[in-house]
Structure 1
Amino acid sequence: MTGFFTEDNSAAAVNARIGEQADARLALVMSALVRHLHAFAKEVELTPAEWEAGIAFLTQTGQICSAERQEFILLSDTLGLSMLVDAINNRRPDGATENTVFGPFHVADAPVRAMGDTISLDGKGEPCRYQGRVLDMDGAPIAGASIDVWCDNADGFYDVQQPGIQPKWNNRGIFITGADGAYEFIGIKPVSYPIPDDGPVGRMLAALGRHPYRPAHMHYLVTAPGYQKLVTHTFVGGDPYLESDTVFGVKQSLVAPFEPDSTGRAAWHSPFDFVLVAEDSGKD
């Protein structure tokens, strides 16, 4: 027995109350959470006033959540936890395209468009031609891959943030690769934008001297039968927020070239190949 609760044995005393009937995974996760939470409080010698401020912060975070806004995910994002969970669960071999956070603005069932189509419907922004291939780890093209793409408009907003202002499906589309694994579409060169910072998470960032900005990026959800799902972005090289992305989503391998387009179809050209891992390859 651990005896009565004391400062020294606090975590052990709490974890001793977990019953044998508890799910094994739940018991593992919760006991680890208790150990680390108690260790944190002891390390910083948390005061009652600080504990009350933390409770108030979490309460306000929950109160601002709605069907359109998930402040707890925003909190997880800005603390780097979302990216850590993503990294743990998407370990891939060298040469495969890296994952990054999904983000809150994906919309299912976007229109399937023909290769080369334009996804920008509001006429704003600098046109950019996105082009590349979907390949396997051996460099062979993957036919029938679905490339679901979405990004903000030139004002830094996604269409779902501005219903009635932006056209529906603005800067969104799905493209299906042929036998050559190639894709191509016309979008815009994305712009950097702030995450919603008018709530408790925004106040936390300001108190910590952190900005709320994400660097400019294009979202991709790439799927193909027999291959692991890829959720990723490509980032605009030279963006001032690349090394300080407020949700820690940037990986060096995902910084894509944006260069003048030689075809005359757009102002910019951004080539990028996606390399998928077979489902049965396991996780390295």
Structure 2
Amino acid sequence: MSDRTIIDWPAWTASAPGRYVLDWEQAQLDSVVSNVFGYHALQLGLPQLDALRENRMPSRALVLDAASGASAPFTYPPRRRQGDVAGLPGLAGVDGRYAPAARTTLWCDLLDLPFEAQSVDLLVMPHTLEFTRDPHRLLREAERVLMPEGQLVILGFNSLSLWGARQSFGKMTGRPFVPAAQDLIAFNRIKDWLKLLGFELERGRFGCYRPPLARENWLTRFAFMEAAGDRWWPIFGAAYMVTAVKRVRGMRLVGAIKAKKPVLAPGLAPAATHKTPNPRI
């Protein structure tokens, strides 16, 4: 592990705990994004994780900035003429060095995304909130660019876990355990922020219940804690994934409108009938 205040992602993902967490997150993302359909899908930050590899949208891109956890040595490529790339207009820079095959890397300020409002169907933020200076503003940008009924997927480290406790202690001593430029954000706080922005929480899942150990052999010894933690203390997993759907007030998806027959007013009937008795003959 590095002795710097902030650990860069490439160094951490090459370590045993880094591979352990990313393997769990990759498996969760593969099962979630495969069932999301549309046209535009974006991953904000963390090129070491291919969040969209199981998604089948025709336009998928990786969006990075200097603070998104991509890598400490990463620098912005030279600015190019703005234009349409991968169907999304107004990009500040385009580069293919860090994106997976058949994907594009877009360089811009994540707090000021250069995309039109309601233009993205799926937005994945793997640990992006932990590297931005203003997580509230980043979530507002996500809400702005997502289409109605668009999906937002957030991954992060759980502050209410053994990993979160070691991270807090490590930052005080100058030896953090996980790479995060800002404080870890609790799962409940993420839920509150999403509700305030009009998102509807679809699912939340915790994982990685082994203790925060740096050596792979020790992590292997505590493999039994995966099943036990998922059953007995699920909210104390080291990592979490949140999936939310953008809801627009007053909008409702309906099927084909069926023509209704006009209802005729019922005829008025007398309250009582009076019969004239037959005359006697």
| Larger RCO (alpha carbons 8 Å, 6+ apart) | 1
Q: TM-score, normalised by structure 2?
A: 0.23
Q: TM-score, normalised by structure 1?
A: 0.23
Which structure has the greater CA radius of gyration? 2
